[in-house]
Structure 1
Amino acid sequence: MTQSLPPIIRETLQLGAAIPAHPLALTSDRRLDERRQRALSRYYLAAGAGGLAVGVHTTQFAIREPQHGLFHPVLELAREELDRADAQRTSPLIRIGGICGPTPQAVREAALLRDLGYHCGLLSLAALKTASDDELLAHCRTVGDVLPLMGFYLQPAVGGRILPYSFWRRFAELESLVAIKLAPFNRYQTLDVIRAVVDAGRDDIALYTGNDDNILLDLVTPFRFVRNGQPFDRRIVGGLLGHWAVWTQQAVAQLNAAHDIVRTGGSMSADWLALAQQVTDANAVVFDAANGFAGCIAGIHEVLRRQGLLENLVFLDPAERLSPGQAAALDRISRDYPHLLDDEFVATHRDEWLRR
């Protein structure tokens, strides 16, 4: 039986939220640094995030490996911090967990997320690289019987696969589907997904950007297609982004500004277009686009380390590191775009968040 999403969470998803992809804090000997892991969650929620995405690429997929055994503990810590925050709120925060692997693994992960109170699963299809559309859809249906789904179009450069319009058109018919994260970093493929959702008549599916190269423009663009002979617009309403795991207070402000533009029917100013370019420039450095995204997780961690939220640049994969020149490029971004940073906000509250 398909699981349903609480109405208040569905409404929040459809209004659009800033959802950071949660990093992983480790000690120098590669053990979970619980204090700093909690501090990161507290930072994001204090910055105004509408929820958290945990166990996703930014959290490092290797948390699932038996020698680490961190998938459940990391989900549990985030749940506890979300519970603490929800106790002080009138509306609950969105809880999204990553789901990976072939069907048996994906079902187990979905069941764990459900049992821990997560609302939906961000479903990666990276492990099914040679599966047909029919096989992919059967996989999605099976997982969706356990937990509502957020679809995920992941760019091939970091492990995704190209998925045609024909797949997305059928995928959009799944009753368990509540949202889609668009992260192909490709305009053509982004349009494939949105057109498929429009053609399926699924106005209830929330669209979220993961296109780190086009974040702000995604959030204000009317995607206009023709349905039943009439023009029909869809909007990308929020973002689920590794990029929003840094400088999160400013990311929330940018999303709110985008919502204001859409709500008032205002046009994009030259300053907004310039800001969009600057965010993309910053992302290119944090995500290490110059080196095929090799240092994307390390770039996120370096920003958080400089802010004092993380203690080190230690990862589950010892080969993970900043690329040559990436640290100097981060210096440039911090110098040239101080309005993108939230260093003062972090410095004011960091010690409070780091308390056990």
Structure 2
Amino acid sequence: MALHHSDIAAERIAVLRGGAVIPAHPLALDAARKFDRRRQRALTRYYVDAGAGGLAVGVHTTQFAIRETGLFESVLAAAAEDSVAWSDRPLFLIAGLCGSTSQAVAEAKTAVSLGYHAGLLSLSALRSASREELLAHCRRVAEEIPLIGFYMQQAVGGISLDRAFWRAFAEIDNAVAVKVAPFDRYRTLDVVSGIAEARAENRITLYTGNDDHIVADLATPFRVRRAGEDVTLRFRGGLLGHWSVWTRQAVTLLERIHTAIEAGGTMDPELLALDSRVTDCNAAFFDVANNFHGCIAGCHEVLRRQGLLEGIWCLDPQEGLGPGQAAEIDRVYRDHPDLSDDGFVAANRERWLS
């Protein structure tokens, strides 16, 4: 059965629209690279107790290879089951969708059947398609599930999408948000401007995926001209691989930013200064020095150090930490201890693993 955003309970869609921390859920594997159900459950419980407003599952951080290994439905089902069982508040569940139109539609139907509320649509598999072909693909998938657009950075497989594309995307009735993650300020502005031109700013919620400028995206009013007048749009939350670690502190950070915006005054310089510090941590976690080779394994490594994961294994044996990445993670732990949530994890880890 297809799902339209108007079918979602008001208190649940309000989580998305109000802005939330939505971690991109990693995949827990054992030493044989098999699905570790117990530790996967522990991760979900961690995110719920940390205050995340939702989960994104089946996305890049979960590893796209779950499709080839037959884990897609199992992993999505696990997160849905565990989050509902553990949480006493409404969460917004997002499923990653990718591949050809037929594949993305099939994945959307699976997600809806499992209780997911929106699909984050990757267009990487359609890199040779025209703008109209891409939009036709988006419209077809949106017939099955509320859609979150995804502007993925090109370094990890994204394609260039111009302002005209985002204007047309924002006109899709069942589009509810965009994860903006090109790691490029010009392209970020293309998305913001396209949504404004479509007059969809009250329906399409902006989520940052720009792990290199998380705080700046969330704290900045994006002002664009429309029909001779200024229109201001803001990023309300983040859907981030970076927020799969140190998640409790991410929730605290977003709450600080929302409070500052609501107060209407000048943003605290100390809060703004966190942008460079968070970016420094991200450079280590995402292995920027090695062109993002260890971007998934780096997040796994933080979770391993906290005792939530047993190891950093990925489905692809070639995926692991990049040269020097472990030392960089050591460094950011030393330089930014106040940004970690190791104490929170240590106090709750055994309960989550039970």
Matched residue, 1:107: 105
In 2, the alpha carbon distance for the partners of 1:150 and 1:342 equals 29
- The residue type equivalent to 2:182 in the other structure is P
Cα shift at 1:183: 0.1
Matched residue, 2:24: 21
Does the 8 Å contact 1:2/1:175 carry over to 2? no
Cα shift at 1:2: 7.0
- The residue type equivalent to 2:325 in the other structure is Q
Give the gaps of 5 or more residues in structure 2. Answer: none
In 2, the alpha carbon distance for the partners of 1:8 and 1:102 equals 33
* RMSD value, Cα: 1.1
In 2, the alpha carbon distance for the partners of 1:118 and 1:3 equals 9
Q: How many residue pairs get matched?
A: 350
Matched residue, 2:160: 162
Residue 190 of structure 2 corresponds to residue 220 of structure 1: no
- Structure 2 residue matching 1:96: 3-state secondary structure: strand
The 5 Å alignment of 1:7-156 reads 7-65=10-68, 68-86=69-87, 88-89=88-89, 92-156=90-154
In 1, the alpha carbon distance for the partners of 2:74 and 2:60 equals 16
Q: Which moved more, 1:270-279 or 1:24-33?
A: 270-279
- Structure 2 residue matching 1:251: 3-state secondary structure: helix
Matched residue, 1:250: 249
Q: For each residue in 1:11-49, what CA deviation from the matched residue of structure 2 results, as whole angstroms up to 9, or x when unmatched?
A: 221110000000000011111000000000000110000
- The residue type equivalent to 2:353 in the other structure is L
Q: 1:183 aligns with which of 174, 178, 181?
A: 181
Does the 8 Å contact 2:245/2:302 carry over to 1? yes
In 1, the alpha carbon distance for the partners of 2:264 and 2:212 equals 24
Cα shift at 1:269: 2.6
- Structure 1 residue matching 2:94: 3-state secondary structure: strand
Give the gaps of 5 or more residues in structure 1. Answer: none
- Structure 2 residue matching 1:237: 3-state secondary structure: strand
Does the 8 Å contact 1:2/1:148 carry over to 2? no
- Structure 2 residue matching 1:98: 3-state secondary structure: strand
TM-score (norm 2): 0.97
- The residue type equivalent to 2:283 in the other structure is A
Cα shift at 1:142: 0.7
In 2, the alpha carbon distance for the partners of 1:3 and 1:331 equals 45
Does the 8 Å contact 1:2/1:144 carry over to 2? no
TM-score (norm 1): 0.97
Cα shift at 1:99: 0.1
Q: For each residue in 1:120-167, what CA deviation from the matched residue of structure 2 results, as whole angstroms up to 9, or x when unmatched?
A: 000000000010011001101110001110000000000000111111
Matched residue, 1:277: 276
Q: For each residue in 1:280-336, what CA deviation from the matched residue of structure 2 results, as whole angstroms up to 9, or x when unmatched?
A: 000011001111111100100000000000001211000001011110111110011
In 1, the alpha carbon distance for the partners of 2:77 and 2:168 equals 34
Q: Identity across aligned pairs (percent)?
A: 58
